[in-house]
Chain A
Amino acid sequence: MLQLNVNLLFTIINLVVLYLLLKKFLIKPVTDIMEKREKLIADGLNEASSAREEAAKLKVEYEAALTGARDESVKIVEKAQTQAKAEYERIVSEAGVKAGGMLDSAKAQIQLEREQTMKALQSEIAGLAMTAAARIVGEKTENQGNQDIYNQFLEEAGDAHEDTDKH
């Protein structure tokens, strides 16, 4: 029980062999697996964080692009509005000018027509007067004085003149 002998050496050999065997069959595989898993997890985390960073970068990019687009659209709308306004004004003024021209020409035409009508009426009146005069001269020379004839004529002619003026 209390003696040291060659079994001490045997035990040392046993322990060394046990150490090598357990290291090979137990500790190393288990540690390897655990390390592999740790590496896997670390890789996954790294990947996730890099993906997140990329997403944030893309978001900033998109936001910038969006802001640019918004600015541009505002600009485009403004430009369109000014253009439309200018076009509107141009069209309106053109239309005014055209309408004025048309009005003028219409007025001129009306004037012309009226003058023509006046001329025609005057000649008609003159004709009528002549006829009337002839008739009066023919029929009533004997009965009435010259003064009356003139008066009648002038009255008719004046009326006719006033009527045409009114119209």
Chain B
Amino acid sequence: MLEELNCETVFTIPIFGGIGVSEAVVVTWVIMAVLVGLSIIFVRNLKVENPGRKQIVLESAVGWASDFFEGIIGKENKRYIPYLITIVLYLGVSNIISLFGFKPPTKDLNVTAALAIMSMFLIEYSGIHKNGVKHWMKHFAKPVPVVAPIMILEIVIRPLSLCMRLFGNVLGAFVIMELLKAIVPVLVPIPFSFYFDIFDGLLQAYVFVFLTALFMNEEQE
């Protein structure tokens, strides 16, 4: 049981006294390969006129996602949209990958922390890019200078909350599912799997990018 919870080291790179590559990283490679492979397959033969059914589905999905993010962060921040789409795809696949027998990489704190750190940099970068360093420095002292420590703390708190929310949800779902499977292995896990593996996983992916976009928007004010 506890073994299931551990993030095993799949192999060790034999330099610097051995660098352990965890399962999450390997599963991420698999996800990357699948996503890129599917992209290459589906994006072939795109046509401006008379798109096929495949292309219509693809376009409406990408169009829906970019419209969604554009609605949050605005038209002038279009350049962040590809990153957000990438993250939502990665998280969506990672969170439901336990259906395919892999351990979700988001169950590893390293992955959620990495995502949160990237979100943090993106949030602060978008603020600085939009309003300049000076404005970025000044905005900590608004509306009154007293709140400056809290505002500075917020830089860390926001990604920390993103990281922990995702990690906790996926880990919790994973633990519950493992327990259920251990106790009642037949039929009963199915509805729970729908909720914990699919619904919760997709919801957390959505929440993660939604909050990242929202924080970016906030930071640009």
Contact = CB atoms under 8 A, between A and B. Distances in A.
A complexed with B:
yes
Interface of A: 1-12, 14-15, 17-19, 21-23, 25-31, 33-34, 36-37, 40
Nearest to A23: B82
A4 B47 CA distance: 46
B86 A8 contact: no
Leading 8 A-B pairs by shortest Cβ distance: A11-B114, A26-B39, A7-B110, A25-B39, A8-B110, A7-B22, A23-B82, A19-B86
5 contacts: A1-B7, A19-B86, A26-B42, A34-B62, A37-B48
A15 B118 contact: yes
Residue from B63, B83, B117 with most neighbouring chain A CB atoms (10 Å): B83
Contacts of B89: 22
A19 B63 contact: no
A34 B63 contact: yes
B99 interface: no
Interface string B110-146: 1101110110000000000000000000000000000
Interface string B23-48: 01100110110011001101100111
A26 B114 contact: no
B176 interface: no
Contacts of A15: 28, 86-87, 90, 114-115, 118
Residue from B35, B90, B110, B118 with most neighbouring chain A CB atoms (10 Å): B110
Contacts of A25: 36, 39-40, 43
Given A11-B24, A15-B90, A25-B39, A1 B114 contact: no
Q: Give the interface size bracket for B toward A.
A: 35 or more
B59 interface: yes
B5 interface: yes
A12 B108 contact: no
Contact of B19 (A3, A6, A34): A6
Residue from B5, B43, B113 with most neighbouring chain A CB atoms (10 Å): B43
Nearest to A21: B36
Contacts of B62: 26-27, 30-31, 34
Residue from B86, B118, B171 with most neighbouring chain A CB atoms (10 Å): B86
A40 to B, nearest CB: 6
B21 interface: yes
B48 A36 contact: yes
A14 B82 contact: no
A13 to B, nearest CB: 9
Nearest to B117: A12
Given A11-B28, A17-B32, A22-B36, A34 B108 contact: no
Contacts of B82: 19, 22-23, 27-28
B5 A1 contact: yes
A30 to B, nearest CB: 5
